[in-house]
Structure 1
Amino acid sequence: MSAFRTTATIDWLQALRGLAAMAVVVTHAGWTLAQPAHKELAWEYFAHGALGVDLFFVISGFIMFLTTRSCDGSPRYVADFAIKRFARIWPLFLVVSLIYLGLAWQKADAFPTAYFTDVASQLVFRPVSPKASDFFLLPVDVAWTLCFEAYFYVVIAISLFSRKWRWWIVAALLTPGLVLYPLLAQDWNFSFYHQSAIAQSHYLNLAVNPMVWEFVLGLLAGWLYTRDWTQPKRPLAFCMIAAAGIAFIAIPETHTPTLYGPTIEYGGLTIFAIFMLIALASKTVQLPVTRWLVWLGTMSYSIYLTHKLGFMAAAQISAWLGIQSASARDWVGFAIHLTCGISTGALFHYAVEAPLSARVRNALLLLGRKSKEADFANTQAHPV
C-alpha cells in the first residue's frame, strides 16, 4: 500500500471516529431539551447519534485486523500489543474514575464505600450489574462500552500467540458466547437490551452480548479492505460514496432510536454497510476529509469519556444565563452542552490522555525490553 494510501486511510478513519464522538455528544446533549416539541425532535433525530457507539465498535475491529497483520506469534509481540492497548485506554479511565469518585465523596460528605467498590469493579472492566439494559450500572456510565473493548482486546491478544491459526482461535473464543449460548438458551436475540443476565459471572455477560458481533463485523471489514479484488473502479467508488450518504440520511427510517445491535433495526448492520462502502471507496479515490473532523477523531476517546463532566459545567452556565424564553433556553443550553462537552474532551486529551498514555506505554515497553534482556543475560551466564 502506498504512502499516499496510508495517509488517506488514517484521515478517513480519524474523521469517522470524530463523527462517532460528535454523534454521542449530540445524543446526550439532546436529552437536556425540555420543551415537548424539542424532546420529540431530539428523539426523532438526535437519538440516532447513539449509533456512534456501533461505529466505534466496527472501527475497533477494523483496526485490530489491520494493525495485527504483522503478528509473528511471539510472546514479545503479544506483550507489546497488550501494553499499547492498556496504555491507550486505562490511564485516562483511571483519572476520570477518580474524578467521579471525588464528586461522589463531596456530595455524600463521607467516603462512599459502596461507590468506591463500584469504581474498583469498573477499573477492571467488570460490569457492576449483570444487566446490559442497565448499561452495567458503572459509575462512569458511558464506560460500559470499554468493558466490551477490553473483552475484545483480550480475545485478540490470546489469538496473537499463533500466527497461522489466530483467526480460528478468535472464532473458537467467540463462538461459545455468540452462537452456542443463544442456541442452548433458545434465545437468539440481537438486541443489546434483551440479553438474559448471567448473575454467576458478570464478565460472562460481555461474552454473550450480541454487541460483540459488531467487532466481528469490523474484522470482516478489515479482511475485505485488504483484498486486492475489492478495489473498485473510480465510477463505482463514487457510487459507493453516494450510497453511503444515502444510507446515512435514511437512518431515521431504518433504525429505531437509541437501540444497539448488529442488525439494520438496531443500527449495527447499517453502520457496517456505510463503513464498508467508505472503506472500499477510499482504496480508489481520496476522500474529502476536513481537518476539524480529523482533529475530533484524534480526541474521540477523551471526548467520549469526559463529555458528561463538561455537561456539569454547561448546566451551571445555562442556569447562570437565566434566559427567560423556554425555546431559546433549550437551544442555547443545547449549544452550551455541545461546546462544553467537546471542550472538556479536548482539555483532557491534551492535558491527560496524550501525555499520560505515552508515558505509561513507553515505561511498560521499556520495562518489558529490560526484562527480556535480563532473561537473555541470565541464559548466557547459566546455559542449560
Structure 2
Amino acid sequence: MDAGRVDTSTIAGVQMLRLVAALAVLVHHAEGIGYHLGRYRGVELARADVMLTGACGVDLFFAISGFIMVVSAQRLLGTQRPRLVFIQHRLARIVPLYWLMTAFTLGWGWRFGPPFDLATTVHALAFLPYAPDGMPALKTIPLVVAWTLYYEMLFYAIFAACLASTMPTTVRRVLIALTALVAAGAVFDLPQPFAFWTEPIIAEFAGGMVIALAYERGIVVKCWMRIALLAAAAALIFATDYAAIGTLNGWDRTLTWGVAGWLILSAVVLGPLRLPAMRLWSIGGAISYALYLVHMPLMNAVQFIWRHFRWSYGPWQELVFVVGTMAASILAALILHRAFERPITQHLKLWLNPAAR
C-alpha cells in the first residue's frame, strides 16, 4: 500500500487483517493435518468445528487484495506504462517466494513421493490450472495452498488490462470483466482452465475494490455500525457448515464467507481504528504471505517424520503437533520474509523499474 495516500491507522488495520487471515488458514490446516495424522496412526480424534472455519481466511485475503490493488495503484495513474509497472510489481511480489516453496515441494515429491511430471510442474510455475484426463485442477497443484494464487494472478491480469486514467473507471471495467467471467461459467459447461477461472469466488475481489472506492471518497461508518458489521460477519462465518461449502467454490461460499470478508474489511477501514502495538501488526502483516506459503510444506514434513518413526498419537500429541507446527511456521515465515522475500522483492522491483529509485 502507498503510505503517502493512506493514513497509518488504515495501514495497520489492513496489516492486522492480513495476519488474521493467514493465521485463520494456519489453524485450519494444522487441525486438518493433525486429525488425519491421528487417523493414520489408528486414532479417531474429535474434530474442533470452530477450527474448520479458518478456511474463510482465504475469502478475507481476496477482499483485502481487491482493496489494496485499488489503493496502491492510485500512484500509477497518469504515469508512463502504468500497466507494465503494475504487472512488474505484482510479479516481483508474488513469484520469487512462490517459486521457492514450489521448488521445495517438487523436490520433496521427487525424493519421498508422489513425484510431479513435467506438465504439472510447468503449469504450476506459470499459475495455470491443469486438469489432465478430467482430474480436478486442485489435485494437480504441487503446493496445495497455491490455488488461491492462481486466482490472484488472474485478478492482477484483469486489473492491469482494465487500468484507466481514473480509479472509478478502472474498477467499473474490472467489475464488468469479473461479472462476464462468472456469467460465462454459470451459462456454459467450460473445459479447464476456463472452468477454474469462472468460479464465483473471483467475485470476492470486487467487494474489496468497491470498499476501496468508498474509502478513497472519505466515507466513514459510525462505530456502532462497524461493530454490527463484525457481528454479522461472525454470524456468517460460524453459522456456515464447512462441509457444505467444501474446499471451493460456488455461490454458497461467496455469499457467506465472501460477504463476511467484505464486512470485516469495511469495519476495519471505513472509520478510525486504534491498535496497540502497531509495529507488531505491521510485522505480522508483512510476513503473512510467507506464512501462507510455508506452513503446509512444514506441516507435511513434520507429519511425515511422525509417521515414519511411528510415534504415539492421541489428544495431547495432537495438541503438541498443532501448536508446535503453528509456532514453527510463524518462525519460518519471519526468517523467510527477512532473509529472502523482502530483499529479493525490493531488488526485482528496482531491476524491473529503475525509475523507482
TM-score, scaled to structure 1: 0.78
How well do the aligned residues superpose, as a CA RMSD in angstroms?
Answer: 3.2
Which position in structure 2 is the counterpart of 1:381?
none
Larger of the two Rg values belongs to structure: 1
Measured at CA, do residues 171 and 4 of structure 1 come closer, stay the same or move farther in structure 2, by a change above 3 Å?
A: closer
Measured at CA, do residues 58 and 150 of structure 1 come closer, stay the same or move farther in structure 2, by a change above 3 Å?
A: same
C-alpha distance in 1, partners of 2:120/2:201? 23
Number of matched pairs: 342
Listed as ranges, the matches of 1:183-262 within 5 Å are 184-185=187-188, 198-199=190-191, 201-202=192-193, 204-228=194-218, 230-232=219-221, 236-237=222-223, 239-251=224-236, 253-257=238-242, 259=245, 260=248
For the residue of structure 1 that corresponds to 2:353, the secondary structure is helix
Note if 1:121 corresponds to 2:120: no
For the residue of structure 1 that corresponds to 2:74, the secondary structure is coil
Q: Please list every run of 5 or more consecutive structure 2 residues that lacks an aligned counterpart in the other structure.
A: none
Kindly provide the amino acid, as one letter, of the partner of residue 54 in structure 1. D
Of 168, 174, 177, the match for 2:178: 174
After TM superposition, give the deviation of residue 214 of structure 1 in Å: 0.2
The answer to whether the Cα contact below 8 Å between 2:10 and 2:273 also exists between their aligned partners in 1 is: no
After TM superposition, give the deviation of residue 156 of structure 1 in Å: 0.8
For the residue of structure 2 that corresponds to 1:337, the secondary structure is helix
For the residue of structure 2 that corresponds to 1:351, the secondary structure is helix
Note if 1:137 corresponds to 2:140: yes
Listed as ranges, the matches of 1:1-384 within 5 Å are 6-31=7-32, 32-33=34-35, 34=38, 36-39=44-47, 41=48, 44-72=49-77, 75-107=80-112, 114-129=116-131, 135=138, 137-163=140-166, 165-182=169-186, 184-185=187-188, 198-199=190-191, 201-202=192-193, 204-228=194-218, 230-232=219-221, 236-237=222-223, 239-251=224-236, 253-257=238-242, 259=245, 260=248, 266-280=256-270, 283-288=271-276, 291-315=279-303, 326-366=314-354
TM-score, scaled to structure 2: 0.84
After TM superposition, give the deviation of residue 137 of structure 1 in Å: 2.3
The answer to whether the Cα contact below 8 Å between 1:74 and 1:161 also exists between their aligned partners in 2 is: no
After TM superposition, give the deviation of residue 267 of structure 1 in Å: 1.0
After TM superposition, give the deviation of residue 322 of structure 1 in Å: 8.0
Q: Please list every run of 5 or more consecutive structure 1 residues that lacks an aligned counterpart in the other structure.
A: 186-195, 371-384
Measured at CA, do residues 215 and 289 of structure 1 come closer, stay the same or move farther in structure 2, by a change above 3 Å?
A: farther
For the residue of structure 2 that corresponds to 1:45, the secondary structure is helix
Query: After superposition, what is the alpha-carbon deviation per residue over 1:213-255, rounded to whole angstroms, capped at 9, x for unaligned?
Result: 0000111111122223x224xxx31x13432443354355422
C-alpha distance in 2, partners of 1:107/1:266? 39
C-alpha distance in 2, partners of 1:344/1:358? 20
The answer to whether the Cα contact below 8 Å between 2:291 and 2:332 also exists between their aligned partners in 1 is: yes
